[in-house]
Amino acid sequence: MSLNAATDKSTEPSPVRRLIAWRKRLDRFFALEGLSVMILALLVLLALLGQLAFDGLGRISWRFLTSFPSRFPAQAGILSAWIGTMLVMLVTALTAVPLGVGAAIYLEEYAPKNWVTELIEINIANLAGVPSIVYGLMALGLLVYELHLGQSILTAGLTLAMLILPMVIIATREAIRSVPPHIREAAYALGATKWQTVRHHVVPYSTGGILTGMILALSRAVGETAPLITIGALSFIAFLPHPPWQSEFPFISMQWLLDPFTVMPIQMFNWVSRPQEEFHVNAAAAGLVLLFMTLAMNALAIVVRARYRKRIHW
Amino acid sequence: MDVAVLLHAMVKRTAVSMVASRRRSQLQEKGIELLLLASALTSVAITIGIVSVLAYESFLFFRQVSLLQFFTDRQWTPLFAEAHYGILPLVSGTLVTTGVALALAIPMGSLIAIYLSEYASRRLRETVKPILELLSAVPTVVYGYFALLFVTPALQHIWPNLPGFNMLSAGLVIGIMIVPYVSSVSEDAMRAVPLHLREGAFALGATRMQTALRVVFPSALSGIIAAYVLGVSRAIGETMVVAIAAGMQPTLTLNPLEPAATMTAYIVQVSLGDLPHGSVGYQTIFATGLMLLLITLVFNIAGHVLKRRYRQVY
Amino acid sequence: MSLIATSRDVLKIEARSLSFYYGTLQALREVSIGVYDRRVTAMIGPSGCGKTTYLRCLNRMHDLYPGNRYEGEVLLYPDKVNIVGPNIDPIEVRMRIGMVFQKPNPFPKSIYENVAYGVRIRGTSSPIDLDGVVERALRDAALWAEVKERLHAPAFNLSGGQQQRLCIARALATDPELMLFDEPTSALDPTATGRIEELITVLKQRVAIIIVTHNMQQAARVSDYTAFMYEGRMVEYDRTDKMFTNPSDKLTEDYVTGRFG
């Protein structure tokens, strides 16, 4: 085909031009498809939020937030649920963060390149793919029965800590890796030991990434239901765990760790499983609160990441 | 000359005292390294814990139920007076819901990934990606609510005979839930394909669609397979959506329009009840859990092998 | 190679048949060179000749990465300890020897904290002492006047040349016996380069200095002795003026006159 085809006065487009036009149409159609699929995803999200809000927004009130569950849906509330969530998250964070950060530091700064290290790394990658309910089964057999920790806040916290440990480790490793090697070399050249370099430089400069990873992992844990049902979280808890303080010496009480508990997602699950529609309203309200908690944590993570990125940029 | 001797002695003394304090801190360094190694080894301990609990309880189970019955019986009714222990209904439940989920998530996720990576402007990408992340941040119990109380009624407009609990709603919602995982990992893989490969195609006169499908997609196949495997793992391990929306009736069927129980939903069902520790009923959840873990493992290994096969070095 | 030392030149660090291996690759071949106290010794040679490798042997930086091996000896005077020996702790070596890198690498901390860090990890924590040490180091690095009003501002706000002088102050604060400069001005503009060269000629009055440079004019300006390396070997080592005007080895002459490089 010659370039003069454009100036040809023939009315019949040549086969090649037709092919190109056809391909272009396909291209546009394909792009349209991609765009519409994305819009579909967006619409689904909106439908989800809309449905939840439509059903449950009316139920949310101060009374809802401060009442215990009840046989009467109009009087039921999520007090024990969100307090349970907070306490369990406390245990989870206090367990998963030191272990996860410590493991990540070891793997990035200390680990020699041998089979032990590779085993640990393969293991962590595998754990990240294990279904969450399997952690519940493990905790049931080991923590609840073998170690006699019972169906308690401590068990729940430890279970979720094991679940999110791979996430914390992976995020912390990423953050540590972003500290450039010439900063480490500067510290070593001054005579710093490995731990001094890690403690004074590597960890402080990766704090942003570590915090972000930690918050995102915890926001995952907040929504986890299956493992906690497995270890026996009950959902008709009409009382609060013991407070962490007491009037006699030593004034701090650890009794709350062994108390039975419930958490937000389980309360919602319980209500949505009931046939009565009024309970579904409660479930929607609980879902909104739960969603709010999760989104607030995600937003916090974004803010933290932005703030730290401003302070330290390589 | 005296000055030189004096200086020499001074340096020697400093060197000696430095050596003494160095030895102390060397011990400290070693101690810290061991502590960090212990943190890293907890991940191995977790795996050992999971495997041993599941293996032990399954071993107890299989002492009372034959392997043959487990794999060939077509009914799963461990809690009935006339108990059947065939795992097939649960496996079919898992596979059908996963199949529906993947039938939705893989095309949708891939299309979104291609669009974002090959077509979308940076602004569009930066608007859409947070929305997709939002989809993945929603707790699964909220998705369960959505499946039961929005998707099922909506589908009942199309199929009026659709039962209130069915695998289709659950599968579709799980699909939407894992779209962000599939799309974001695929997109990363596609963005990693170097520009010059695309430019080669464009220079030959290819449209964006042809370049995307014939050049970018195959080059990024290794990462895309990883994305699909991630989606499969998530779908197989999903618990709450099926527990809420698919019903808890173990049924051996391949028809998504029927209710069924998945392996995960069964475990939840038993955990909600009150089975005495040590009974066969109690042990069934561990046998089911072991089956779940093995299926997940098989997919992960298959994915790993395929990833390696198709890996491209640019 | 001949060592034409004046009677006032005292050995500070001496390599004797030093070889170095990156895994199985031999990067230094039996290098022997004695560097003098209170003098500036320049290491020159084409890219890949081993001058930076040699420098990093002296403060055991290679120990940070797995698979590296030293052979031979490096004696640090006056106690003549072999610092690449198997029983020597690299940390101790780095406590006596300071290094300034090619690209300025201040910590993302304040100017004060950068200079104070080396001193802090040696145990000095009294704030009054620390202030004094920091000021002295910054003066010695010809940076004090420019930063004295903003000691607690972030170091990253300084210009490239200032950051490099900060790195010099950081190394000087710990009172090292030997200072190693690895192409310290290659990332800087000519003005900043000139200031650092000036600084080096002042600093040599108190400390031995080895400077690796790919810029021969810089070596000629700044150093008393020059060592020419090629493919991991020490080819020639002599007083700078002789090296550049009347080198003994043909290879040296070719390099110095720009016939290759």
Q: In this predicted model, what pLDDT tens digit does every residue of C119-163 receive, in sequence order?
A: 998 876 666 688 899 999 999 999 999 999 999 999 999 999 999
**At A309, which amino acid appears?**
R
Please give the backbone phi and psi of residue A60, each rounded to the nearest 5 degrees, phi first. Answer: -70, 125
Q: What is the pLDDT of residues A190-206, one digit of tens each?
A: 999 999 999 999 999 99
**Whole-number percent of chain C with pLDDT over 90:** 75
C165-178 tens-digit pLDDT: 999 999 999 999 99
The pLDDT, as a whole number, for residue C124 is 62
Q: pLDDT band for position C3 (50/70/90)?
A: low
Would you state the pLDDT for residue B309? 85
User: What pLDDT is stored for residue C171 in this prediction?
Assistant: 95
**What average pLDDT score do residues A218-245 get?**
83
CB burial of residue A97 (10 Å; 0-12, 13-18, 19+): buried
Mean pLDDT of A76-101: 93
Half-sphere exposure of residue C89: CA atoms within 13 angstroms, side-chain side: 22
* Cβ B97 vs Cβ B83: under 8 Å: no
Q: Can you read off the two tokens belonging to residue B200?
A: 């080669």
Q: What is the mean pLDDT of residues A112-117?
A: 89
Q: Which residues of B touch A34 (CB under 8 A)?
A: 111-112, 114-115, 119
**Residue C212: per-residue pLDDT:** 96
Partner-chain contact C89 B26, CB within 8 Å? yes
Mean of pLDDT over chain C: 91
Q: Does domain B76-309 have CATH number 3.40.50.1220?
A: no
Which chains neighbour A (Cβ–Cβ under 8 Å, 3 or more pairs)? B, C
Query: Which site among B41, B145, B151, B270 would you substitute to test the A interface, given the most A Cβ atoms closer than 10 Å to its Cβ?
Result: B145
**Residues A176-199: what's their mean pLDDT?**
94
Q: Which two tokens stand for residue C240?
A: 């700078």
Pairwise pLDDT comparison (B5 vs A59), residue with the higher score: A59
The helix/strand/coil state of B66 is: coil
Q: Do A232 and B271 touch (CB under 8 A)?
A: yes
Residue of B18, B19, B23, B26 to mutate when probing chain C, most C C-beta within 10 A: B18
Q: Which residues contact B79 (CB under 8 A, 6 or more apart)?
A: B270, B273, B281
Q: Are B300 and A130 in contact (CB under 8 A)?
A: no
pLDDT value of position C1: 40
Nearest to A77 by CA among A285, A296, A295: A285
pLDDT tens for residues C86-100? 889 999 999 999 999
**C-interface mutation test, from B6, B11, B17, B24, most C Cβ less than 10 A away:** B11
Q: What one-letter code names the amino acid at B267? A: I
Q: Would you call C101 and A189 a contact, using CB atoms and an 8 Å cutoff?
A: yes
State how far the Cα of B53 lies from the Cα of A288, in Å rounded to an integer.
Answer: 36
Show which subunits contact C, needing at least 3 CB pairs below 8 angstroms.
Answer: A, B
B288 Cβ neighbours under 8 A, 6+ residues apart: B87, B90, B263, B266, B267
* Chain C nearest-CA residue for A181: C105
Say what the pLDDT of residue B43 is: 93
Residues of C (38-97) whose Cβ lies below 8 Å from B = 78-79, 81, 89, 91-92, 95
ipTM over 0.85: yes
Q: How far is CA A217 from the centre of its chain?
A: 4
Please give the single-letter amino acid code of residue C245: T
More confident residue, A134 or C6: A134
Mode of pairing for the β-strands spanning C40-44 and C208-212: parallel
Q: What is the model's pLDDT at position A224?
A: 92
Q: Do B40 and A33 touch (CB under 8 A)?
A: no
Q: Distance between CA C74 and CA C77 in Å, rounded?
A: 10
Read off the pTM.
0.88
What phi and psi values does residue B82 have, to the nearest 5 degrees?
-100, 90
Please indicate whether, in this complex, the C-beta atoms of A272 and B149 are within 8 angstroms of each other: yes
Residues with Cβ < 8 Å from C2, sequence gap 6 or more? C238, C248
CATH 3.10.129.10 given to domain C11-256: no
What is the pLDDT at residue C182? 95
Tell me the HSE value of A117 on the side-chain side, using a 13 A CA sphere: 12
Determine contact: B112 vs chain A, CB below 8 A.
yes
pLDDT for A181: 93
Cβ pairs bridging A and C (under 8 Å): 58
Q: What is the total residue count of chain C?
A: 261
Helix (H) or strand (E) holding C235: strand C233-239
Instruction: Find the closest chain B residue to A16 by CA distance.
Output: B205
Report CA-CA distances (Å) from B1 to B4, B5, B6, C9, C258.
5, 6, 9, 15, 45
Compute the distance between CA of residue B306 and CA of residue C12 in angstroms, rounded to an integer. 60
Q: Is C149 an interface residue toward B (CB < 8 Å)?
A: no
Nearest to A192 among C103, C121, C167 (CB): C121
State which residue of chain C sits closest to A190, comparing Cα positions.
C118
Length of chain A: 314
Q: At what angle do helices B167-191 and B88-114 cross, to 10 degrees?
A: 40
**Gap between the Cα atoms of B228 and B183, Å rounded:** 9
DSSP C89-128: -HHHHHHHEEEE-SS----SSBHHHHHHHHHHTTT---HH
Distances (CA, A) of A130 to A41, B47, B181, B230, B305: 27, 10, 16, 11, 18
Whether C29 and C234 have beta carbons less than 8 Å apart is answered as no
Mean pLDDT in order along chain B per 10 residues (314 residues): 51 51 80 94 94 93 88 85 86 94 94 90 87 89 93 91 91 94 92 90 88 89 90 93 90 89 92 82 91 92 86 75
pLDDT of residue B5: 55
The residue that leads in pLDDT, C39 or A311, is C39
Contacts of B42 in chain A (CB under 8 A): 99, 103, 165
Contact list, C78 vs chain B (CB under 8 Å): 4, 7-8, 11
Query: In angstroms, rounded to a whole number, what is the distance separating the alpha carbons of residues B178 and A106?
Result: 32
Q: What integer best gives the mean pLDDT of chain A?
A: 88
Q: Is pLDDT at C2 greater than 50 in this prediction?
A: no
> DSSP secondary structure string, B219-237?
HTHHHHHHHHHHHHHHHHH
Q: Residue window 218-237, chain B: list those with CB within 8 Å of chain A.
A: 230, 233, 236-237
**Is residue A105's pLDDT more than 90?**
yes
Rounded mean pLDDT, A92-98: 96
pLDDT score for A5:
52
Q: Are C29 and C71 in contact (CB under 8 A)?
A: no
Q: What is the pLDDT of residue B208?
A: 87
Give the other-Cβ count within 10 Å of C253's Cβ: 16
